[in-house]
């Protein structure tokens, strides 16, 4: 069992006045397993419901307090897995919370764009929200030494960080699971809940984005290739973000006119998914995309770290039209920290424009020798 950082944080939430705990995350990252581990340590009576079982859906969408109370009985905690499957779940959880103030409620969901919409408004001020990602380096470090983590680095870059992928030892098993994830889970919620007519275009868009990690993404060019409008491409990317497939990084600007801010870079939450989309699991020694892979890996891992630590950091890349650039900028508490990512260790100087424009900002190089300092 890989210990998850959120386990202790969710347990701590139970020490305070009961709030509805909402746990988001992609499919297969271990949301159900995590909550069940938490519940094992709570010596109270619990009702666990999987929303895929239709027998519960009528009651949990009824807005009828009497029916809801009959379902809950004398249980002190209600756990609803895949809560996005229940119509009007938000308003029904509000009814339970307001009328049964001692009842503890946990809801999980893999479709943030749907679950957040149906829960957020009715439950304003009543929830504590967490997001679970694929396994992080910080979580693996609880069981493994720095040497062991560095020894597996190439595997992380090729096959990603999904729990089951990490458990499998052989390449073939990893690929079978990644193929299943990519085909079965990647579009399922997005297609079901957003009424997209052209599912093939989602796949083509993702493949194009997979080839462009680390590069500025032109929505206009993507639209031309896919024969889609600018608005439709943006809409699809927004859905892929909310479905935990990709995330955007925007350009940082201190109001220098020569800084690039109108285009984004787009990265994948998991590199195993990305590599499966382009069908490339060649070893690092013969790959042409080592730099982009390294950049995506560090950014996705840092994203997990920032989220789990509640760091509230603003994150960007930095580039000027004259060619100066940094892979990553983190703005925390008014402090600017700039990073350049290089897979192989080498001396790199900070861009002169960066040093002259942001005199109090830091600059660091993150490579395969020191990356654990950056991620831990």
60-69 pLDDT, tens per residue?
Answer: 999 999 999 9
pLDDT in tens, 110-137: 766 666 666 766 777 788 889 999 999 9
What pLDDT shows up at residue 164?
A: 94
What pLDDT shows up at residue 293?
A: 98
* Spans of all domains in the chain: 5-131, 137-308
pLDDT higher at 345 or 225? 225
Share of the chain above pLDDT 70, in %: 94
Overall fold of domain 137-308: Arc Repressor Mutant, subunit A (1.10.10)
What pLDDT shows up at residue 147?
A: 98
Residue 328 has pLDDT above 90, yes or no: yes
Q: Which residues of 29-39 are buried (b: 16+ CB within 10 A; e: fewer)?
A: bbbbebbebbe
pLDDT higher at 168 or 185? 168
Confidence of residue 55 (pLDDT cuts 50, 70, 90): confident
Q: How far is CA 248 from the centre of its chain?
A: 11
pLDDT in tens, 144-160: 999 999 999 999 999 99
In this structure, what DSSP letter does residue 212 have? T
Judged by DSSP in three states, 303 sits in helix
In sequence order, which residues have a C-beta less than 8 Å from that of residue 352 and are 6 or more positions away?
Answer: 324
State the chain's mean pLDDT as an integer: 91
Residue 337 has pLDDT above 70, yes or no: yes
Confidence of residue 26 (pLDDT cuts 50, 70, 90): confident
What pLDDT shows up at residue 116?
A: 65
Confidence of residue 319 (pLDDT cuts 50, 70, 90): very high
What pLDDT shows up at residue 243?
A: 84
Judged by DSSP in three states, 310 sits in coil
Q: How many CB atoms lie under 10 A from the CB of residue 315?
A: 18
Going by C-alpha positions, the residue among 212, 205, 283 that lies closest to residue 240 is: 205
User: Is the Cα dihedral 52, 58, 63, 64 positive or negative?
Assistant: negative
What six digits make up the tokens of 50? 């999987």
What pLDDT shows up at residue 109?
A: 87
Tokens 């499998």 correspond to: 168
Mean pLDDT of 85-103: 90
Residue 49 has pLDDT above 90, yes or no: yes
CATH number of 5-131: 3.40.50.300
Helix (H) or strand (E) holding 104: strand 104-109
**What is the rounded distance in angstroms from the CA atom of residue 353 to the CA atom of residue 188?**
45
pLDDT in tens, 232-290: 899 899 989 988 899 999 999 876 677 787 889 999 999 999 999 999 999 999 999 99
pLDDT in tens, 182-197: 886 677 767 766 667 6
Contact 320, 261 (CB under 8 A): no
What pLDDT shows up at residue 260?
A: 80
């Amino acid at each position: 069992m890989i210990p998850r950082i959120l386990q202790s944080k969710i347990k701590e939430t139970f020490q305070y006045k009961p709030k509805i705990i909402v746990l988001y995350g992609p499919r297969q990252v271990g949301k159900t397993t995590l909550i069940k581990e938490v519940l094992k340590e709570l010596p109270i009576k619990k009702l666990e419901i999987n929303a895929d079982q239709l027998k519960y859906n009528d009651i949990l969408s009824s807005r009828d307090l009497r029916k809801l109370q009959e379902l809950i009985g004398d249980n002190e905690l209600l756990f609803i897995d895949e809560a996005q499957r229940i119509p009007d779940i938000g308003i029904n959880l509000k009814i339970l919370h307001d009328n049964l103030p001692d009842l503890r409620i946990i809801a999980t969901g893999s479709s943030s764009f749907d679950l957040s919409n149906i829960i957020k408004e009715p439950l304003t001020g009543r929830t504590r929200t967490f997001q679970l990602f694929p396994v992080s380096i910080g979580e693996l470090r609880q069981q493994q030494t720095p040497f062991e983590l560095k020894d597996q680095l190439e595997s992380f870059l090729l096959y990603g960080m999904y729990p089951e992928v990490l458990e499998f030892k052989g390449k073939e098993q990893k690929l079978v699971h990644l193929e299943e994830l990519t085909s079965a889970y990647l579009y399922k919620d997005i297609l079901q809940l957003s009424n997209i007519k052209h599912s093939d275009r989602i796949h083509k868009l993702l493949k194009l984005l997979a080839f462009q990690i680390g590069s500025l993404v032109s929505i206009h060019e993507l639209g031309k290739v896919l024969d889609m409008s600018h608005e439709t491409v943006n809409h699809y990317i927004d859905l892929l973000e909310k479905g935990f497939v990709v995330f955007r990084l925007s350009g940082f600007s201190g109001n220098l006119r020569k800084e690039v801010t109108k285009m984004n870079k787009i990265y994948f939450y998991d590199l195993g998914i990305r590599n499966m989309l382009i069908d490339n699991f060649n070893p690092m020694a013969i790959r042409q995309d080592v730099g982009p892979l390294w950049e995506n890996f560090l950014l996705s891992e840092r994203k997990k770290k920032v989220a789990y630590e509640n760091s509230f950091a603003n994150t960007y890349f930095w580039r000027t039209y004259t060619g100066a650039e940094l892979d990553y900028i983190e703005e925390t508490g008014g402090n600017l920290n700039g990073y350049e990512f290089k897979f192989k260790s080498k001396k790199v100087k900070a861009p002169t424009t960066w040093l002259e424009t942001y005199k109090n900002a830091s600059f660091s190089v993150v490579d395969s020798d020191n990356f654990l300092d950056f991620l831990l």
